Amino acid sequence: MEALRRELQTLSERYSQKCLEIGALNQAAAERERELQRLLSHWSGQALMELNNRFSEEIAKLRTFMSGNGPNDGRLQVGEKSSAELEVLLRVKENELQYLRKEVSCLREDLQNMQKDKRYASEKYKDIYVELNNIKSRSEREIDQLKEHLRLAMSALREEAALRNSVGE
């Protein structure tokens, strides 16, 4: 009976430990998810809008310059850039934009992976919880059965002792 109590205590401690581990995993996943959401909204919102605006301005300047509709019909004034410089600048801006889009895509994938991990941890928690509850219920039933056997054995011993006392008198 004492062995069953120790086993039940051990199982209860393991159950508590698993619950704590799963809680910590869920908390870490939630924190990571919040951080990814924050980064994703920062990059996809503010930075992309800003780059798109600058990119649109540069394209408009380049188109104006290339069409010859700008000031002085395409003649460069002091401080203006040549078409080759503008093309290089345009390529650089396109590359920056492409890089940021890839970065946003990676962050979205990370967020999706974190959400999958969170779902997996939650399912694992549920499975462990059910398993430990089943073990606990089974152990409690076994303890109750052993208590009943012990009660019957003690009753039989008392009857035997009473019989010996009555025969010995």
Nearest C-alpha neighbor of 40 from the set 94, 137, 110, 133: 110
Res. 78 pLDDT band, cuts 50 70 90? very low
CA dihedral for 131, 134, 139, 142, sign (positive or negative) = negative
- pLDDT tens, position by position, 7-41: 878 888 888 888 888 888 888 888 887 887 777 77
Report d(CA 3, CA 14) in Å as an integer: 16
- pLDDT tens, position by position, 84-141: 787 888 888 888 888 888 888 888 888 888 889 888 988 988 888 898 889 889 988 9
- Ramachandran region of residue 79, left (φ > 0), alpha (ψ -120 to 50) or beta? left
Residue-range domains of the chain with CATH: 2-168 (1.10.287)
Nearest C-alpha neighbor of 140 from the set 13, 16, 1: 1
